[in-house]
């Protein structure tokens, strides 16, 4: 499992992402999207209803398994939630 730390950014490699997902009973389908391990037809989605490809997976926010993408709008929304 590998992580790269660059200033204030931590980036996890695919192996690390898969390890985190497995702790939450998630995996990746043949198209590269996060899915429920027990129900491969059910894709994991963001709070906005977007499907998440593995390369865009940024993490899981504490709470009710809220999955985050690594794009700017998703990260800004997370900061707004955390700061309120």
- Per residue in 27-72, pLDDT (tens digit) is 999 999 999 999 999 999 998 899 999 999 988 876 667 788 888 8
| pLDDT band at 76; cut points 50, 70, 90 | confident
Give me 46's structure tokens: 């963001």
User: What residues contact residue 72 under an 8 Å CB cut-off, 6+ apart?
Assistant: none
Higher pLDDT, 82 or 6: 82
- Asked if residues 50 and 69 have their Cβ atoms less than 8 Å apart, the reply is yes
- pLDDT attached to residue 62: 67
pTM assigned to the model = 0.69
Backbone angles phi, psi at 42, to 5 degrees: -100, 110
Spatial separation of the C-alpha atoms in residues 18 and 8, rounded to whole Å: 22
């Amino acid at each position: 499992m590998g992580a790269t730390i660059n200033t204030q950014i931590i980036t996890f490699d695919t192996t690390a992402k898969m390890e985190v997902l497995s702790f939450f009973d998630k995996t990746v389908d043949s198209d590269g999207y996060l899915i429920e391990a027990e129900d491969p037809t059910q894709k994991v989605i963001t709070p906005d209803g977007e499907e998440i490809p593995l390369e865009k997976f940024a993490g899981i926010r504490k709470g009710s398994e809220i999955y985050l993408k690594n794009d700017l709008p998703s990260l800004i929304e997370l900061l707004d939630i955390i700061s309120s």
